[in-house]
Structure 1
Amino acid sequence: MATRLENHGHPPGTTVMDKNGDVLFELGSEDLTAHLLVSSKVLSLASSVFSAMFTHGFSEGEGLSSKSPRVIPLPDDDPPAMALLCHILHFRTSSIPMERDIAALAELAILCDKYDCAGPVKPWGLLWTAEWLPHAGSEGFEKLLFVTYGLDLPEAFAKVTKALVDNHPGPLKFDASPGYEMLPDGLTDEIESKRNDLLKSLLRAFDATITPFVAASNVICIRQVVGLFYYNLSTVGLWPLSKKLDEIPVPEIKQKVSQLVAPVPTCTNRVYCICTKGYTVVSDIKRILQEKIDDAINNTTGLCLDCVRAGRGSGEHQSCRLSHT
């Protein structure tokens, strides 16, 4: 419930966003409390939720005055995230950090979703997420899904979902994470479906590379090539193939493939034998496999934020901000 601050002073430790502020946010609960002196006008311009709170009949909006700021408790909001949000909305750029950790970004995104004010935060969101996008293997990276969704960053959202497809074996679990509830139903299933499609493409890449030799396995040296191919997969930790592909992030799969030794048969006929003529030169097996793997990875894209919000498949897009081509 909102109360009136009866004197002209502010509680100790109050962060003044606007010296003429007419609202005093009270953050936290019990022993951990912070205060922010803010402008209802500024917040109303930035947020439809704050606008309704301050102007459309909510009790908090009655009789707002800078001479006697109204105290509004916000016990459920993360204090550092709310302070950062208010710094941004009040254009206090000197107080805005150039870097933010993923957990802090997730808390900020939750507030932007709650108060419908992602627009003014977008430029900062682009700056902060760009720092983390190259670190898909970092602990907590999956929280960037909340961040890019809550801050409405379509390009970053596509990159994050692509990175999760490539780097997150197994199911995504967010049930206990703050912010999970803002994500639409089925989003994690769609990411896992993309991951499964990529795994199928990677399996086809391995199969397509060795199939020409399997088809000619009536030749003794080619039998050796086929056997050595699968043996070498085992030596680099890629066997059994389907199980390992399911367990290993894509960058690690590529790294293991780079360690493969090209199978060399014990053939003495270097002129007419199929191991050096015909379908594929044996020494090219590794290169061809790497090219097919790269094609499979590059043909797998992230998700379109506009399509996700609209609840439609990526092939049904109308006027998405991010090109599907």
Structure 2
Amino acid sequence: MVQAEATTKVGKSSPLSAQVEVACGGDLELIIGEEGVQVKLLVSSTILKLASPVFAVLLGPNFKEGHDSAPTAGLPKSVCLPDDDPEAMLWVCQILHYVRKEPMKADLALLGKIATHCDKYDLAYALGPWAEYRLQVVECHTMEESLSLLYCAIMLANNKAFHKSTKYLVLHVARLTPLAMLAIIQDYKLDGQLLASIEAKKEQSIRCFQLRVESIISMITAPIIPQKETRQHTMLLLRRANFWPVSSLGSHASLHDLINDARAIVGCAGSRECWCDSVEAEKTINVAADKALVRADGLCLTCYKEGAMSRNQGNCLARDARECLGIQTEGLDEHGM
């Protein structure tokens, strides 16, 4: 047997049968994967049954696996799990047996496989501390990474990662078309109602910014000392950034990009003496941006699971300030803007 501390690679290039002793003196052998790419894990059935309600039933007297896994001539019991991923199950078993020593790389693909098996075997509670540590160090820099983290957060029942990933989608991803939403549902196995809630939150945040930027646009289009060349240049900047006409605001950009574009326009227009009061304009755009960023908060996993968002009861069961996560939200007016 190979000791649990050893690094065991499982994949298409692996030998026909790899063996890993996860639990010294274990009484159960899990045969993971299809023939040709299998790995055999020697584990403790007691630990698996305590950690997983699914394994507790599966290895009980009422299921075929429980009967077929009866020990023979002092050998450990054996259970075949051909549909499971060998590498992911190796990680899961080693985490449950507290024998995983080497750190895990920030590999969202592997993390997603582990999350899938966690959901399959109802291990969210048992893997909770490990998931809390692993997910908090995962960074979102692209839409794909945030969607992968969102899937892991749901499968591992981690509220903070759910909040972080949905906040990235609200703030950094432009409005999604129905076709794009359908592709995400299929590729990432996410709930359509959840994506609709994210889009609604995004729409509220952009609309909040849109209402406040209207007054800024009026300052650009009505300067005290009209200069035709400067005026035309400013309007061109507005059109290119989808700030004018106001109805196009946010149609092709994320809220984060809109805010950056607005601040750039303020600086460019101000340098050409187009503003009636450049200091006041800069203050106005900063206030608008801050209010919109407060609106662009992430969603709450508890509310999602309880169905509160689908019943239009808001984003948090506390109906206020994200108390589910202990994150205080300040700066909203009476209309939530």
The answer to whether structure 1 residue 116 and structure 2 residue 122 are counterparts is yes
Of the three residues 290, 307, 311, the one matched with 1:311 is: 307
Q: Partners in 1 of 2:316 and 2:257 — Cα distance? A: 33
Q: Partners in 2 of 1:244 and 1:14 — Cα distance? A: 59
CA RMSD of aligned residues (A): 3.2
Alignment correspondent of 1:169: 174
Q: Partners in 2 of 1:25 and 1:286 — Cα distance? A: 64
By how many angstroms is 1:207 displaced?
A: 0.9
**Normalized against structure 2, the TM-score is what?**
0.76
Do the aligned partners of 2:220 and 2:234 also contact (CA within 8 Å) in 1? no
**Normalized against structure 1, the TM-score is what?**
0.78
Q: Partners in 2 of 1:18 and 1:82 — Cα distance? A: 14
By how many angstroms is 1:227 displaced?
A: 5.8
Number of aligned residues: 297
Do the aligned partners of 1:24 and 1:72 also contact (CA within 8 Å) in 2? yes
Question: CA 1:141/1:293 → structure 2, altered by over 3 Å: closer, same or farther?
Answer: same
Q: Partners in 1 of 2:187 and 2:39 — Cα distance? A: 24
Larger deviation, residues 22-31 vs 219-228: 219-228
Unaligned regions of 5+ residues in structure 1, if any? 1-10, 268-274
Alignment correspondent of 2:106: 100
Question: CA 1:264/1:21 → structure 2, altered by over 3 Å: closer, same or farther?
Answer: closer
Of the three residues 317, 321, 324, the one matched with 1:321 is: 324
Alignment correspondent of 1:45: 50
Map 1:59-98 → 2, pairs under 5 A: 59-62=64-67, 64-65=70-71, 67-95=74-102, 97-98=103-104
Which amino acid is 2:214 matched to? D
Question: CA 1:238/1:316 → structure 2, altered by over 3 Å: closer, same or farther?
Answer: closer
By how many angstroms is 1:84 displaced?
A: 0.6
Q: Partners in 1 of 2:300 and 2:244 — Cα distance? A: 34
By how many angstroms is 1:236 displaced?
A: 5.8
Deviations 1:272-291 (A, max 9, x none): xxx65xxxx23432342133
Do the aligned partners of 1:155 and 1:322 also contact (CA within 8 Å) in 2? yes
1:55 is paired with a residue whose SS is coil
Question: CA 1:198/1:222 → structure 2, altered by over 3 Å: closer, same or farther?
Answer: farther
Q: Partners in 2 of 1:151 and 1:79 — Cα distance? A: 19
Which amino acid is 2:126 matched to? P
Question: CA 1:223/1:288 → structure 2, altered by over 3 Å: closer, same or farther?
Answer: farther
By how many angstroms is 1:70 displaced?
A: 2.7
Question: CA 1:54/1:233 → structure 2, altered by over 3 Å: closer, same or farther?
Answer: same
Question: CA 1:28/1:228 → structure 2, altered by over 3 Å: closer, same or farther?
Answer: same
Of the three residues 147, 152, 157, the one matched with 1:147 is: 152
Q: Partners in 2 of 1:20 and 1:48 — Cα distance? A: 23
Question: CA 1:228/1:204 → structure 2, altered by over 3 Å: closer, same or farther?
Answer: farther
Find the structure with the greater CA-based Rg.
Answer: 1
Alignment correspondent of 2:164: 159
Question: CA 1:109/1:239 → structure 2, altered by over 3 Å: closer, same or farther?
Answer: farther
Q: Partners in 1 of 2:269 and 2:107 — Cα distance? A: 43
By how many angstroms is 1:233 displaced?
A: 2.8
By how many angstroms is 1:85 displaced?
A: 0.6
Map 1:196-207 → 2, pairs under 5 A: 196-207=203-214
Alignment correspondent of 2:60: 55
The answer to whether structure 1 residue 230 and structure 2 residue 240 are counterparts is no
Do the aligned partners of 1:112 and 1:118 also contact (CA within 8 Å) in 2? yes
Question: CA 1:239/1:64 → structure 2, altered by over 3 Å: closer, same or farther?
Answer: farther
Deviations 1:114-143 (A, max 9, x none): 11011222222222222223x332643311
Q: Partners in 2 of 1:103 and 1:242 — Cα distance? A: 39
Unaligned regions of 5+ residues in structure 2, if any? 1-15, 329-337
Q: Partners in 1 of 2:186 and 2:315 — Cα distance? A: 32
Alignment correspondent of 1:288: 284
Deviations 1:247-268 (A, max 9, x none): 223333333334321346779x
Deviations 1:127-176 (A, max 9, x none): 2222223x332643311111111111112211111111112224343333
Of the three residues 22, 29, 37, the one matched with 2:34 is: 29
Of the three residues 294, 300, 316, the one matched with 2:296 is: 300
Which amino acid is 1:288 matched to? T
Which amino acid is 1:262 matched to? A
Q: Partners in 2 of 1:318 and 1:24 — Cα distance? A: 46
1:161 is paired with a residue whose SS is helix
By how many angstroms is 1:226 displaced?
A: 6.9
Do the aligned partners of 1:263 and 1:282 also contact (CA within 8 Å) in 2? yes
Alignment correspondent of 1:20: 25
Q: Partners in 1 of 2:298 and 2:289 — Cα distance? A: 17
